[in-house]
Amino acid sequence: MTSHRLPHLPGQVALPEQKSAAPSPARLDGFNSASAEAVTRALLTCCRSLRWAHRLAAHRPYPDLAALLAASDEAAYDLTPADLAEALAGESLTLLPDGAYSAAHTALSAAHAAYESRFGHVFVICLDDCAPGEALDQVLAGIRSRLTNDPEEERVTTAEELRRLARGRLSRLTLQFAAPDGPRPGHADPGRPQ
């Protein structure tokens, strides 16, 4: 299975998603006992690297969320440049809230285009700790500051942002495995288009 690049629409940014309480160790039972195929498919909604997803699925069971997140971090740190490119090719950005496009749409579109032209992939940033009203400013500031990075420095920064995004998405994913009917295909991360 290969990753494909989702369409990037100008004026889109990743927004923080609704946070949920951390699952108890018992709630990881669904994640730990699901089929490898189902878990891998769900993990790919967190990070589009097959190597990362297979590694996490293969190392189950996890005693608790902390252990799963530590394994996720370790797998993310071990991504090769090809794995990182695969994960980035599968990234897309979530729409800003209504009304956020008015004055900043042109600036945001231009910033995204400049970033993609310089680095050859979409801009990713984890905004989990950012208030929704500050997301647009955070994205614009992030793009502007990261445009000054050399390609290797930006590769490291991008890998770190992907790691942070995967952590947040994975935390939310484990809650869905704890639901009585488990995760539903295409609904593993409600804040991210499939």
Q: What is the pLDDT of residues 158-169, one digit of tens each?
A: 999 999 999 999
Q: What is the mean pLDDT of residues 122-133?
A: 88
Q: What is the mean pLDDT of the chain?
A: 80
Q: What percentage of residues in the chain have a pLDDT greater than 70?
A: 72
User: What's the average model confidence in pLDDT over 109-138?
Assistant: 90
Q: What is the mean pLDDT of residues 174-179?
A: 82
- pTM greater than the 0.95 cutoff: no
pLDDT score, position 125: 93
For residue 10, is pLDDT > 50? no
Condensed to tens digits (0 to 9), the pLDDT of residues 49-83 reads: 999 999 999 999 999 999 999 999 999 999 999 99
Looking at residue 177, what is its pLDDT? 82
Structure tokens belonging to residue 32: 């730990």
Residue with the two structure tokens 């945001």: 108
Q: Can you tell me whether residue 95 is helix, strand or coil?
A: strand
Mean pLDDT for 174-192 is 58
Instruction: Report how far Cα 13 is from the mean position of its chain's Cα atoms.
Output: 12
Place of tokens 């990075």: 149
Give me the architecture of the 25-178 domain, per CATH: Orthogonal Bundle (1.10)
Kindly tell me the burial class for residue 133, based on how many C-beta atoms sit within 10 Å of its own C-beta (0-12, 13-18, 19 or more). exposed
Does the pLDDT of residue 97 top 90, yes or no?
A: no
**Which are the contacts of 121, defined by CB distance < 8 A and separation ≥ 6?**
85, 88, 89, 91, 158
Separation CA 101–CA 90 (nearest Å): 24
Distances in whole angstroms, Cα of residue 173 to Cα of each of 14, 75, 165: 17, 17, 12
Decide which of 188 and 117 is more confident: 117
In angstroms, the CA 66 to CA 148 distance is 35
- The whole-number pLDDT of residue 25 equals 52
Note the pLDDT of residue 18: 39
Q: How far is it between the farthest Cα atoms of the chain?
A: 49
Residue 53 has a pLDDT of 98
Q: What band does 26 get if pLDDT is binned at 50, 70 and 90?
A: low
User: 166: Cβ–Cβ under 8 A, 6 or more apart, which residues?
Assistant: 46, 47, 52, 72, 76
